[in-house]
Amino acid sequence: MAQAKINAKANEGRFCRSSSMADRSSRLLESLDQLELRVEALREAATAVEQEKEILLEMIHSIQNSQDMRQISDGEREELNLTANRLMGRTLTVEVSVETIRNPQQQESLKHATRIIDEVVSKFLDDLGNAKSHLMSLYSACSSEVPPGPVDQKFQSIVIGCALEDQKKIKRRLETLLRNIENSDKAIKLLEHSKGAGSKTLQQNAEGKFN
């Protein structure tokens, strides 16, 4: 009888300890789950800062190379460029880095995708029109919507092999390149229009002198 009581108390003690450990483990797991949410929120916030930095640099660069900058006086242009360079310098002081965890296959896919885009960019000066078409097909390969033009199937399979964060970065880079090309096209057309209008004015003035 006495032995039975001892065994009962021992079992009760083991049960209490086991219950206490389970509760403690549950609390720790809950804390880690909450921390995981905060970690992901931190990464998303840092990624947003990265994107904002890219957008700001692109906008400053776009202003410096805009047609409006070509149509103001040299003194005003110099002053505005000083301001733009100051803003660019301050933007570049912001250093944010969000590392993406990749397995070896994802790392290789990223290198391959980056190499393809770099090769297209290197051909900008030789054939801007063809490079733009190629970039459009690469961008269509990254789009979840129905693309308006052809899709580079090979590039699409490479991008699918990349980490999800890298897929988003690849798409953003292609968007930026296409916007830069579009802005370049507009600047060239405006310049040609300006030259054409100037030539026409000169011709009219010349004809007026002879008449």
Q: CA-to-CA distance for 155 and 113, rounded, in angstroms?
A: 7
Q: How many residues does the chain have?
A: 211
Write down the pLDDT at residue 8. Answer: 52
List the chain pLDDT tens, one digit each, 211 residues.
555 555 555 555 555 556 688 888 899 999 999 999 999 999 999 989 988 998 898 889 888 877 788 888 999 999 999 999 999 999 999 998 888 889 999 999 999 999 999 998 888 777 778 888 899 999 999 987 777 778 999 999 999 999 999 999 999 999 888 887 777 655 555 445 554 544 444 445 444 443 4
Write down the pLDDT at residue 115. Answer: 94
- C-alpha distances out from residue 118 to 123, 182, 195, Å: 9, 18, 33
Write down the pLDDT at residue 149. Answer: 78
Spell out a b/e string for 124-163, using b for 16 or more CB atoms within 10 Å of the CB, else e.
Answer: beeeeeebbebbbbbbbbbeeeeeeeebbeebbebbebbb
Is the pTM higher than 0.75?
no
